[in-house]
Amino acid sequence: METKTFLTAKEAAAELGVKTPTLYTYVSRGLIRSEAGTGRSRAKRYRRADIEALKARKALQKEPGKAVAEALHWGAPLLESQITLIANGRLYYRGRDALKLSQTHTFEAVAALIWQIENSATCFAEPLPAAMAQIIQSTRPMFGQLTPVELFQVVLTLASGQDLAAYDLRREAIVQTGARMLRLETAVVTNHDPANPIATAIQTAWTPAKPEVAPLINVALIACADHELNVSAFTARVVASAEATPYQAVIAALAALQGRKHGGYTERVAAFFREIGKPQNCYATIANRLKRGEQIPGFGHPLYPDGDPRAQVLLAQTMAVFPQSPACEMAQAVCQIVAETTDLKPTIDFALVTLALTANLPPHAPLALFAIGRTAGWVGHIIEQYAQDQLIRPRARYTGPAVADLA
């Protein structure tokens, strides 16, 4: 049964277990958003997401234990953060529209915004120490079979042993450590310490004859920079809460990111594109998947019922730069068929794979871009977590066999 994005006043009040005057009070206090309906009466309708969030808050007050358990799965907020807000189908970094920033700022400037420093040049201008730069050259022949993100973990692990400054957990020092980690990750995919803006350095290494790809990579990195308390960001915060170093927190976050239900989902989207093969196969491939009861990879995001804005921006700009691309033609056809049959919209995973295929980027490029971009957000969360100085240690509700001594 399809879940309705909007409810009538009667339905909303019933969901909350209140009378309609109480519902209107919630609206006046800004707890629930309303908008004019589309029918003849133009009766107000109310966002289900707001109603569910309010129900979660009320449940937390009545049964904290149960509410916290439910909050661990797309539920009520668990931790406070000043970095990212997801609201009204939009994404904001420190109160600024993230997708608008992607049109006017470099990825480094957005990282500086997330880290709350005045000028990105103050931390990204420093070249890597010679010993760290040498790590890139020495590990590539030894670990050439690894994906870029797996290699990020190896390189960061080796670099952490040489970077004694990473044990300084003051915010100013963490910012410098974060910049070094981003430079190391970029060096893995470019094979040298990047002197240019990161997006340009990656484009030059991957597609030297296509400078028009650099702005698209910049958009992708900014779109991926943070997404509130996702699996990898939560992992980074848990590790940082134990006062592990920023390297250790980011290495753990990279492990989480590669999971098939997180950033590793891009590999499933890429496999779906390979399954289609060419634009004329789109309908048959999607039809066969739906008939088998299988998902269409890269569509539908729980936080964006009206569509992932990150995907919208990146797809639109990719198609504008490469309007004749077969990959773009295929992506457009897939989006249209899926929208007509399931009403689902593409996610950032779908957009990253579309960009990679369109610009002929190397294998595993979508996840590599995801990881480099998201590292900026992880560092922001690590800074916040150190400042909170509180160990994240939830309790488990025991459901095993009864203990004789307690019976």
H/E element holding 93?
A: strand 90-93
**In angstroms, how far is CA 278 from the centroid of its own chain?**
29
CA angle 190, 191, 197 (to 5 degrees): 40
Q: What integer pLDDT is reported at residue 35 of this predicted model?
A: 81
pLDDT value of residue 402: 83
pLDDT per position in the chain (407 positions), as tens?
Answer: 345 678 888 999 998 989 988 888 888 877 888 887 766 667 888 888 788 878 877 765 665 555 555 555 555 556 889 999 998 899 999 999 999 999 999 999 999 999 999 877 778 888 899 999 899 888 878 887 899 999 999 999 999 999 999 999 999 999 999 999 999 999 999 988 888 899 999 999 999 999 999 999 999 999 999 999 999 999 999 999 999 999 999 999 999 999 999 999 999 999 999 999 998 999 999 999 999 999 999 999 988 988 999 999 999 999 999 999 999 999 999 999 999 999 899 999 999 999 999 999 999 999 999 999 999 999 999 999 999 999 999 888 888 888 877 65
Distance of alpha carbon 216 from alpha carbon 207, whole angstroms: 12
What pLDDT score was predicted for residue 62?
A: 65
Is there a contact between 213 and 203 (Cβ–Cβ < 8 Å)?
yes
Please list, in sequence order, all residues whose beta carbon lies within 8 angstroms of the beta carbon of residue 152, skipping any fewer than 6 positions away.
Answer: 184, 185, 188, 254, 371
The pLDDT value recorded for residue 4 is 66
Percent of the chain that is helix, strand, coil (3-state, to 5):
60, 5, 35
Q: What does the alpha-carbon distance between residue 18 and residue 259 come to, in Å, rounded to a whole number?
A: 41
Q: Give the Cα separation of 138 and 227 in Å (integer).
A: 34
How many CB atoms are located within 10 Å of the residue 261 CB? Answer: 9
Tokens of 204: 């030059």
Residue 2: the pLDDT is: 42
CB 229: neighbour CB atoms within 10 A?
17
> What pLDDT was estimated at residue 33?
84
Q: What is the pLDDT of residue 368?
A: 98
Q: What is the largest CA-CA distance in the chain?
A: 73
**Using CA atoms, how far apart are residues 223 and 214, in angstroms rounded to an integer?**
14
> What pLDDT does 217 receive?
98
| DSSP per residue, 181-250 | HHHHHHHHHHSS---S-HHHHHHHHH-TT-TTHHHHHHHHHHHHS--SS-HHHHHHHHHHHTT--HHHHH
Helix (H) or strand (E) holding 382: helix 365-388
pTM reported for the whole predicted model: 0.83
